[in-house]
Amino acid sequence: MQIAGSVALVTGGASGLGAATVRALVEAGGRAVIVDRAGSPGEEVARAHGAAVRFAAADVTSEAEVAAAIARAVEAFGGLHVAVNCAGVGMAMRTVTREGPMPLDLFRKVVEVNLIGTFNVIRLAAAEMARNAPTADGERGVIVNTASAAAFDGQIGQAGYAASKAGVVGMTLPIARDLASLGIRVVTIAPGTFDTPMLAMLPEPQRQALAAHVPFPPRLGRPAEYAALVRHVVENTYLNGETIRLDGALRMPPR
């Protein structure tokens, strides 16, 4: 898919990996709609990019709100060609603590946002992409999801998070097969430890400890590196149905 002239929907696009993705797509000649929560800096990020970017406040688990965001993309830019799922939550708790078992609502919330929210965006975005005229390769759209290294080696306290991200990995191939006849590709990126606003809240010694676990390069990942991979996935028509680890060869320890 050629990025220049294309229209993208980026969930979680107000900060971190999502904001870096919006920047990369716009720099390549694309246009984007940022989908993030009301109260996020999404409007400010959109204004910084000028006419190429719009903001739509939405909860990714809401069918109506995501549908409205997609309609905004179509109204503003004339269509939808790319969807990048970066929205997610990372709450953690051991399965059983001294106070008792993990509240089921906590587990449910993480799965609802990270897994069900991702699928909600996929299904609605794909339905809109199916309206596109195919390219010379028969392509109508590209969907990029965000999993995590935790999908493969989740740490203590990450039962809900790891389950939600493993679900994203697990549905990548069947959805790619579902959408193949429509000319829509589906690829998932599984980042390791990245320098995002979530990690920025940690004390510096803890950040350095996380970086030290990465074999090479021994540092936290940069959002621009995630965005560069998104750009490659969009542009490389033969990438489909795959999960790509982006983690500097990290295999996460138990804690």
Active site residues: 161
Given strand 184-191, what is the order of strands in its sheet? 53-57, 31-36, 7-11, 82-85, 141-146, 184-191, 243-246
Distance of CA 147 to the CA centre of its chain: 7
Q: Are the C-beta atoms of residues 61 and 12 closer than 8 Å to each other?
A: no
Backbone φ and ψ for 61, nearest 5 degrees, come out as: -85, -5
In angstroms, rounded to a whole number, what is the distance separating the alpha carbons of residues 9 and 56? 10
Question: DSSP assignment of 8-72, as one string?
Answer: EEEETTTSHHHHHHHHHHHHTT-EEEEEE-TTSTHHHHHHHTGGGEEEEE--TT-HHHHHHHHHH
CB atoms within 10 A of CB 173: 15
Closest-CA residue to 67 (of 111, 123, 22, 118): 123
Amino acid found at 181 = S
